[in-house]
Amino acid sequence: MTAEAQRGDAHRGESRGTSSKMPAVRHAVGVLRRLAASPDPLPAAALARSLEVPRSTMYHLLSVLVDEGLVVHLPEQHRYGLGLGVFELGSAYLRHDPLEHLARPLLARLVQDVGDTAHLAILHGAELLYLLKVQPEHPTTLVTDVGVRMPAHLTASGRALLAHLPAEQVRALFPSQESFLDRTGSGPRNLPELRSMLATERRRGWSEEDGLITPEVASVAAPSFDHNGHPVASVAVPFRRQARAPESWPQLARHVLRAADALTHRLGGTPPQRTASSTVDTES
């Protein structure tokens, strides 16, 4: 474990010790997370049971959260939901480009380790949107760049995220044969083929793409997750296929997995369990 990781563990230990002395804060955060996870507003009694606190305590917490605009009370339904203040905080979070700030040093380290360009990308509907690109001193010319969109099912970055979405959501993103565009005449042509690829890549822990976007260019990618276990971004390394033999791709993928897991850690998330061949040590 690196010195930086040890300092991070020490800091988290101190944070846990401090938070255990501040149950009101922990319970307030628990209320917000429980409401965020529920499709409908919830009664105070259900929130109290969920967090294992007395109803009187829950009513006090809800009163404060309502005063702060983070929770809204629906008197006719005797229920509570998230308030506008949560949206305002979320909007402020997005304005600060948190993913880019958290990921940039990790991608820079990845580029140093592997000597190729590294990307950070997110899903935007059925497309992949590139947010960040970190290049080595002598980069490979690529069609991908910040702000560029690509068909998600053709890219390793996109499939790394699609592989961890619910089957119903994948079906909604690709509802018909016309959804399956191609650029080079290859790639999944229908939903069963895509699902088969996603199942393989989900079990393995990382995705690969070989010439589906640009002939002679391949890439490997791995997903990063939030605290709900939802895939929020993918880390990828594209490269000239002739520069890396296919048998070396798993080793490259381990570097990519390490960076993706480190971003998951910074986001407060937890990566899924993987096979022994793909498991890596996480550094923050």
* pLDDT tens, residue by residue, 213-247: 888 889 999 999 988 888 999 999 999 888 899 99
Helix (H) or strand (E) holding 135: none
The last residue of a domain, from among 74, 92, 110:
92
Domain range spanning residue 244?
A: 97-266
Residues 241 and 111 in one domain: yes
* pTM (whole model) above 0.85: no
Residues 168 and 85 in one domain: no
Residues 11 and 54 in one domain: yes
Short-list 237, 153, 157, CA closest to 197? 153
Residues 261 and 137 in one domain: yes
Residue 168 belongs to some domain of the structure: yes
Residues 44 and 118 in one domain: no
Residues ≥6 apart with Cβ < 8 Å to 194:
153, 162, 170, 174, 180, 188
DSSP-assigned states of every residue in 19-80? HHT-HHHHHHHHHHHHHHH-SS-B-HHHHHHHHT--HHHHHHHHHHHHHTTSEEEETTTTEE
Residue 276 belongs to some domain of the structure: no
Domain count, the chain: 2
pLDDT on residue 23: 79
Residues 151 and 237 in one domain: yes
Residues 141 and 220 in one domain: yes
Residues 125 and 243 in one domain: yes
Residue 156 belongs to some domain of the structure: yes
CB 121 within 8 A of CB 236: yes
pLDDT on residue 12: 43
pLDDT on residue 17: 46
Residue 281 belongs to some domain of the structure: no
Q: 214 — phi, psi (to 5°)?
A: -135, 125
Residue 73 belongs to some domain of the structure: yes
The last residue of a domain, from among 63, 92, 121:
92
Which residue numbers in the chain have pLDDT < 70? Answer: 1-22, 91-97, 140-145, 182-185, 274-284
The last residue of a domain, from among 92, 112, 133:
92
User: SS3 for 224?
Assistant: strand
Query: Which CATH number fits the domain that encloses residue 12?
Result: 1.10.10.10
Residues 50 and 101 in one domain: no
Residues 200 and 79 in one domain: no
Residues 58 and 160 in one domain: no
